[in-house]
Amino acid sequence: MNSGEDKKIYRTIVKATGLFGGTQVFTILCSIIKTKLVAIWLGAEGVGIIGLYSNTVDMISALTRLGIGTSSVRDLSRAFKSGDRNRFASLVKVVRRWVWFTGLLGAVLMLTFAPVLSRYTFGDSQHIWGFVFLSCTLLFTALTEGERAIIQASNRLRVLARCSVLGSVLALLLSLPLFYFYGISGIVPAIIAHTFAIVLVTVLLGRRMKIEPVSIDWRETYRQGRGIAALGIYMTVSGFITTLYSYLFVAWLNSHSGTGEVGYYQAGYTLVMQYVGLVFTAMSMEYYPRLSVVCEDRALLSEHVSRQVETSLLILVPFISLFIVLQTLIIHILYTADFLAIGGYISWAALGMLFRAFSWSVSFVLLAKGAGRLYLITEVLADSLMFVLYLLGYTRWGLVGVGVAYLLAYLCSGTGIYLLCRIKYGLRMPLRVFGLLGLSVAGCAVVLLLWQGGQAIGAWVATAMWVLLAGWQLKRRLL
């Protein structure tokens, strides 16, 4: 791969990260506005009811969607890149039919089990009709995921970002009046309005692309969609196991240290895994389709994964360094002074994000290859290791130990997944990638140790150095 192509890859990664990073931040701001106003208008009871409804709907939706929205990106992007319009159009029709099926399946299941869900979620039968009406949201969500997969695979990233922004705004404008005028009685209509707004915007913008009309029977629809669904099911099971381990750790933590400690853990989790983790969400929108197209060429596969790791590290190093030195201010803004106790935990976990960047970039090789079973096995092993390390780390050092465990877990899983892909798929990374990873970890570790040692000025100087150095290195690769 020549220098011009290298720079093109770097530019593509940075542009996509900036585009979707900004989109994610805007979406979170809309969510914060809604949460704040709902808390004022409906109080703790209303927030709790929304949480119970939303968690139940999300659980059923995640299980019945079969992961089609994510797994279909692989086949769709390959067909689009090949230039075979008929093949791409056929897959689009297959995906749209499958998401209708999975959406209706989820809706029927919720309708059928509404009495059971009401009884086990709320402990009464007063919310049966709430679940009955919310069944339509499972169809809306499935249709949204399918359309987003088509937009993502066809490389219309600006359209995808526009869908997220406009969908969030419309959802906010439709749901807030329902909360304000109807209070708790407006919760179910507001949730329906929210999901309807998102699917409306996504379908209207997504279907502007002209797609060749094709005729495909239902037997062929099943045949072509079966492979997509198989990969999606592996991904769904993997996500469920991750959630299960998270639940088991929180339950163990609650039994050993009480709800207060659980609150600290959840606050730190939100700060690091969700807010810092936005970088990964942003990059995946462009990375997954691109890797799916080149995954059969070992040399190209290695080049693209290497560039992704390098760019991820150069973006994360200044981000993590600033996060460490600004953590006190961030905690005061988002929480209260009591939550300063999570400082050590979030600092070590943020450092672990560098190893996660490496592991995350390499793990997409398995998805691009369609190796669903292997992906599930590696994810289960990684989640099991993290769970054990969490228990050991907390027992030894409290929440700080959980942060250290997070770092060690991704160090081990990243090493394992790289060796697996190296042996099975011939993935090769140049030494400079590992050198950059080591330098990134060392640089952020210096900032962390200086900050924890009370050397605030030294930590700020080191942060400034890493920000400038990372910016310079990124500029060299882009220009």
Q: How confident is the model at residue 455 (pLDDT cuts 50, 70, 90)?
A: very high
CB–CB of 451/459 below 8 Å? yes
Q: How confident is the model at residue 310 (pLDDT cuts 50, 70, 90)?
A: very high
**All residues at 6 or more sequence positions from 393 whose CB lies less than 8 Å from its CB, including other chains:** 400, 401, 402, 403, 404, 405
Cα-Cα-Cα-Cα dihedral sign, residues 42, 43, 45, 48 = positive
pLDDT digits (tens, 9 = 90+) for 215-248: 888 888 899 888 888 988 998 888 888 878 888 8
Residue appearing with tokens 């109807």:
182
pLDDT digits (tens, 9 = 90+) for 413-452: 999 999 999 999 999 999 999 999 999 999 999 999 999 9
CB atoms within 10 A of CB 380: 15
pLDDT digits (tens, 9 = 90+) for 352-398: 999 999 999 999 999 989 888 999 999 999 999 999 999 999 999 99
Long-range contacts of 254-263, Cβ-Cβ distance < 8 Å, separation of 24 or more: 261/399
Q: Is the pLDDT of residue 212 over 60?
A: yes
**% residues pLDDT > 70 (the chain):** 99
Residue appearing with tokens 């969400």:
281
pLDDT, position 295 = 87
Which one is predicted more confidently, 176 or 8? 176
Q: How confident is the model at residue 3 (pLDDT cuts 50, 70, 90)?
A: low
Q: What is the pTM of this model?
A: 0.85
Q: Is the pLDDT of residue 4 over 70?
A: no
Q: Is the pLDDT of residue 274 over 80?
A: no
Q: How confident is the model at residue 2 (pLDDT cuts 50, 70, 90)?
A: low
Which one is predicted more confidently, 97 or 278? 97
User: What is the rounded distance in angstroms from the CA atom of residue 44 to the CA atom of residue 286?
Assistant: 39
CB–CB of 134/189 below 8 Å? no
Q: Is 457 exposed, middle or buried (0-12, 13-18, 19+ CB in 10 A)?
A: exposed
Q: 3-state DSSP call for residue 265?
A: helix
Residue 25 vs residues 21, 37, 438: alpha-carbon distances, Å: 6, 18, 29
Q: How confident is the model at residue 1 (pLDDT cuts 50, 70, 90)?
A: low
* Mean pLDDT, rounded, for 86-103: 93
DSSP for 321-350, written as a single string: HHHHHTHHHHHHHHS-GGGGGGHHHHHHHH
Which one is predicted more confidently, 462 or 37? 462
CA 254 distance to own-chain centroid:
26
User: What is the rounded distance in angstroms from the CA atom of residue 437 to the CA atom of residue 440?
Assistant: 5
Largest CA distance in the chain: 69
Which one is predicted more confidently, 7 or 109? 109
Least confidently predicted of 258-267, 297-306, 341-350: 258-267
Least confidently predicted of 204-218, 298-312, 433-447: 204-218
CB–CB of 253/266 below 8 Å? no
Q: Is the pLDDT of residue 276 over 80?
A: no
User: What is the rounded distance in angstroms from the CA atom of residue 178 to the CA atom of residue 313?
Assistant: 44
